[in-house]
Amino acid sequence: MMRCIPFPFKAKTNLRKVSFAPRKNNESFRKPWFLLIILFLFVASCSRDSKQTIYQGYIEGEYVYVSSPFGGKLASLGVERGQKVKAGDPLFSLDFEEESFQKEQSVKKLNQAEALLNNMQKGMRPSELEVITASKEQAKSSLRLSELDLKRKRNLFKNKIISPETLDIAETTYKRDKSRLEEIMAQLETARQGARPDEILAAQSEIEALRVMVAKADWQIKEKKQAASKAATVFDTLYNVGEWVQPGRPVVSLLLDNEVKIRFFVPETKIAELKVGQAISFSCDACSSSMVGKISFISPKAEFTPPIIYSKEARSKLVFLVEAIPNEKSRQGLHPGQPVDVTLMDKGL
């Protein structure tokens, strides 16, 4: 904005002394020169002020370069240059046949491990449990017979009918049958409980690892299908369908809608007057007159004047890059590369 200093009219009496015509009754020659001098001083004051406040810059767009963390052949490209896209619109997809095979293999291994764990937790089959139960009943019967035989032989030993050796055999038989019954009872209890806790824990850990592998395959397939995160314009497509794309290489570049900023350059003699958050006004060709923003970044390093910036102050070779963000209303209709004139404002937004 230009501020003009009004000409001091009280100096009119002094200006009358400057005349290029005879003094005698010739007022018509003095008035045009008088007005011309006033106009010259008015323009000079405005010109000096404008040089101090207007800085040149341009509009910079916010670009998003969309890529996949995995490589592969470009299978499909759903957009073209200049196309408008919305959030969620598909952009491109890479071939994911290998990831599909890996997922299918992991799913089969997972199903197998879950079936094995289920079988381990159930214990033995009913038919196997019936065999052990029958063995238990047989062992009980044998124990009862050996117990009765032991009682009889103890009575006979008291009456000195049998020898000590015969009694020892009966006692040994009883102890053997008793131990056999206890062993079968323990087998039956183990069969009903299933596998050991450590074996079950190991099987559960294997199942969790396989689930992670399935989730990883799903994630890889998802990352090979990229979509737009925000509304934008397709600025460029960098690959054609069928070409091999390296991991992390951009396939599509997007220019986000209304996500622009102003970049302008300030001489090093004026940089101390600026601060982050300070309000600015700017103008461009075919722009509305009321366009404002605020400074968001001031470069800490000086640089030489870029060749695209034709500074009006030829004496200043070192400049500082300054970035500003237009407000919501002012950023409508701005395009990257558009030159602007920036003026600092005294008050913040």
Per-residue pLDDT of the chain (349 residues; tens, 9 = 90+): 444 444 444 444 444 444 444 444 444 444 554 455 555 545 544 444 444 468 888 888 888 999 999 999 999 999 999 899 999 999 999 999 999 999 999 999 999 999 888 877 776 677 777 888 888 888 888 889 999 988 998 988 888 888 889 889 989 999 998 999 888 888 877 777 666 778 888 889 999 999 999 999 999 999 999 999 999 999 999 999 999 999 999 999 999 887 888 899 888 888 888 899 999 888 888 776 678 899 999 988 877 766 655 555 544 567 788 888 888 777 777 888 888 888 888 654 4
Q: Does residue 296 belong to any structural domain of this protein?
A: yes
Phi, psi at 232, each rounded to 5°? -160, 175
Q: Does residue 339 belong to any structural domain of this protein?
A: yes
pTM of the model: 0.57
Q: Does residue 325 belong to any structural domain of this protein?
A: yes
For residues 176 and 324, what is the distance between their CA atoms, to the nearest angstrom?
Answer: 96
Q: Does residue 326 belong to any structural domain of this protein?
A: yes
Radius of gyration of the chain (CA): 48
Q: Does residue 275 belong to any structural domain of this protein?
A: yes
Q: Are 66 and 253 in contact (CB under 8 A)?
A: yes
E strand or H helix at 189: helix 164-193
pLDDT of 135 reads 87
pLDDT of 194 reads 63
Q: Does residue 109 belong to any structural domain of this protein?
A: no
Total domains in the chain come to 2
Residue 127 per-residue DSSP state: H
Q: Which structural domain range is residue 279 located in?
A: 55-60+258-344
Q: Does residue 30 belong to any structural domain of this protein?
A: yes
E strand or H helix at 61: strand 54-67
Q: Are 91 and 251 in contact (CB under 8 A)?
A: yes
Residue 6 per-residue DSSP state: P
Q: Does residue 175 belong to any structural domain of this protein?
A: no
For residues 40 and 62, what is the distance between their CA atoms, to the nearest angstrom?
Answer: 45
CB burial of residue 97 (10 Å; 0-12, 13-18, 19+): exposed
Q: Are 80 and 237 in contact (CB under 8 A)?
A: yes
